[in-house]
Structure formats: C-alpha cells, structure tokens
Amino acid sequence: MSPTDPFRVMFVCTGNICRSPMAEVVFRDLAEHQGVGPLIVSRSAGTGEWHVGERADVRTLEALERRGYDGTAHRAKQFTAASFAENDLIVALDRTHERILRQWARDEDDEGKVTLLLAFDRFAEGLDVPDPYYADTAMFDAVLAMIETATRGLFRQLEPALRQGRRTPRTPRI
C-alpha cells in the first residue's frame, strides 16, 4: 500500500440494503463535494448474506433521491475476512454490527479498524443507527438525516490527514 492510495472506508449494517448503502453514498458525495473524492473510497457491506447482489431497498433509494443523492448503482455485498485487509476503517451502524465485526477480527489491527458511525456525532442520543427496514418512509428519512450528520463528523475527523497526505487518519475508539 502506497501513501498515495485512497483511504478506504466500509460501512456495515445487517443486509446492506438500508443503512450502510445510505452511509456509503452520503460519505462518497461529501468527499466529492469537498474536493477529496479521489482520496477516499467509500463502500458498504452487510454482516449477513440475505440480499447479496440486490439493489438497495426501494425506500432507501427514494430517501436518498429526496435528498439529492443517487444510490441506484448499489448492489448488496457481504462483509468477509478479506474486507479487513481491503479497508482502512470499518464503520458499524450499530453495536450489534460492531460486536460481530470485532469477533470476526483476526488480530488487534483488524479490531482497531472497527468503530461506530454515531461516535462521530457528538449530539447523538445513543450509539445505534436504528434499522428502518420494518418502518415507514418517515423513518428512512430520519435515519438518513442521522447518517448525514454522523458522516459529516467522520469526514471532519479524516479530512485534515487526507489533505496532508497521511495514510492513517486518527479515528476515535469507543
């Protein structure tokens, strides 16, 4: 890995059709609009294999579209052991995902890559982004708003190091 390689972030939820695709798209869009798109790779995966190959949930796509994002290219993937090596930061959308990812970690380096998205929102009322899958449109919009706020916090944490060309921006540990 070279110092000029992009910083690779993977967002992880359960099935990779609701929360993590939202975070992937929002974070990528933020990086592009801040002029550091080539310095960051934003992707997502699920802890389960139920939806592999599927598009994001239609309610996810609609929520993204209402806020000016395009999630139509997304296809669900499952997190694998190789995902640790392929990414610099693994961002869990809730504490269940965080626990699973830490259990799957092969060593301290892998485990050290895992953090929670809401750790980057100092005003969040908890650490879990709720799963909107069994909820209504309003919940998808509320979850997207939470993700937008937290990804901005994550971006603020990473941006100075990225602009200075450092490979390992500091991320908080909870």
Active site residues: 13, 19, 131
Helix residue ranges per DSSP H, 43-131:
58-66, 81-86, 95-104, 108-112
Query: In Å, what is the CA distance from 111 to each residue of 30, 88, 98, 157?
Result: 26, 11, 10, 19
* Residue 147 CB partners (closer than 8 Å, separation 6+): 19, 22, 23, 26, 117, 129
